[in-house]
Amino acid sequence: MSRLAIQKRYPPRACAVSRARQRGAALLPRPPFLRHATTDEASAAQAFSMATPELTSDLVHGPVSRQAASRRVTARLWRSSQRLVASMLGLVILVIGLGAWTRLVDAGLGCPDWPGCYGALVVPDAQTASLHSPHHPLEGYKAWAEMIHRYAASLLGLAAIALLALGWRVRRRDAHQSQTFEGGSGEAKVTDHWGEEARTRFPLAGCWLLLGMLLVQGAFGAFTVTLKLWPQVVTLHLLGGLSVLSLLLLLWLSLRRRAAHLNVTAEQHKASADAAHIRRQPWLATLAAALLLGQLALGGWTSSNYAGLACEGFPTCNGAAWPAMDWGEGFHLTQDVGPSYLHGQLHGEARTAIHMAHRGGAVLLGAVLLALYWRQRRHLPARTAAPDNPWRWALGCWLVQAGLGIANVLWWLPLDLALAHTLGAVALTLAMVWAMDQMRQAARLKRASVSQALA
């Protein structure tokens, strides 16, 4: 083949690129069969290297290019895992909202069995339902509300399995890169922008924990139906959903932080500098976390015992600052499982005790959040006091949540406000988990600074 024919068949894309490839091809060692080749044969080999830049780059640079390509693939997997966790966060919020809607429209027993509905995977017609459960007539919209909630929860479980598989793949690629390109022990390590050695392994333990929690949540969902809305199970089911939400947020923050170790940007340097101004308040933060857990449990107990309308008026209750209440019956946690707890079985004074306990818990939580916010504001510099205070979001969510609770009492628990109150609890949980994670990172930064100073 002549040189002119080769140039016509493999035209250079651009002069600069062509010259660069020619220089790379000139550095290539000539194979044995071309050491005594003619000019046309040598030109053919040069044209081949110009037409196959990937192979030429691999021959010139060797393992360096393969290492860069492998790391790009791993980076894409990390980004995919972050997107998947973010999508799961949105999905779990949807599942919690659907669960609240199901409870508020009295559809918790819309399907008398589990996991199907009247023995089917979809809502059957009235005739089929009557044959399956003659003593439980079908109400179409309630059955569909329950089944849509189950479908969304099942999708969340499938997403957790996909996240676990993706994390296992990332972990294997990280170990392979460390062994192949660095000769390490299989655990990639880098030095982060805080001056300490950071482990960038994928948090597989968190993924396994997430999958286990979702399995437990599925069991609580089954017990909710089979035990006929027993308040203890309904409350634990709600707390389990919020625990899954918190774990997903921590997983997302962990993935984001570990990926940042591999690619330090100016924004991450700024985030580290901001974290230095966050004041650790372990006792107050622990108290706030305990009060949040108690308040969420009281909210679930209030809802599952249908005590939201036990008090008329605010700030008083039924015209009195301290009405008649039966605390023993209201918080009797070992009562027998009855035929059905739909609309509750407690008398008025027991429900009033539950309602007033929920109000008191809200006041205590608000006071602790205000103290955390104020102490952090005094610790921050004046120019960054407002934007960098991690507790301002938690305090803001609490204020909105308190307003929604008061509105629910004054307007007799309308459906939209009751649903918004549940979603407000979701927002408050997210804000407090994020704030406590910021405090934990501030403590980590302080320890790293001390270690660096001692070194």
Catalytic residues: 146
Q: Are 296 and 425 in contact (CB under 8 A)?
A: yes
Joined tokens for residue 253: 């923050």
Q: What is the distance between the alpha carbons of residues 91 and 249, in angstroms, rounded to a whole number? A: 12
The CB density around residue 74, as the number of other CB atoms within 10 Å, is 20
Joined tokens for residue 359: 């109000």
Length of the chain: 455
The enclosing H or E element of 197 equals: strand 197-199
Q: What is the distance between the alpha carbons of residues 111 and 146, in angstroms, rounded to a whole number? A: 7
Q: Helices (DSSP H) in 105-230: which residue ranges?
A: 126-132, 140-181, 204-226
Q: What is the distance between the alpha carbons of residues 435 and 429, in angstroms, rounded to a whole number? A: 10
- The CA-atom distances, in angstroms, between 383 and each of 268, 377, 379 are 19, 11, 12
Q: What is the distance between the alpha carbons of residues 387 and 383, in angstroms, rounded to a whole number? A: 9
β pairing state of 189-191 and 197-199: antiparallel
Beta bridge partners of 117: 120
Q: Are 62 and 24 in contact (CB under 8 A)?
A: no
The closest alpha carbon to 294, from 331, 322, 344, belongs to 331
184: left (phi over 0), alpha (psi -120 to 50) or beta: beta
Joined tokens for residue 79: 């980004």
Q: What is the distance between the alpha carbons of residues 78 and 201, in angstroms, rounded to a whole number? A: 11
Please give the radius of gyration of the chain, using alpha carbons only, rounded to the nearest integer.
31
Beta bridge partners of 189: 199
Q: Tokens 């068949």 identify what position?
A: 9
Burial bucket for residue 407 (CB in 10 Å: 0-12, 13-18, 19+): middle
The closest alpha carbon to 386, from 274, 221, 256, 234, belongs to 274
Beta bridge partners of 190: 198
Q: What is the distance between the alpha carbons of residues 234 and 303, in angstroms, rounded to a whole number? A: 9
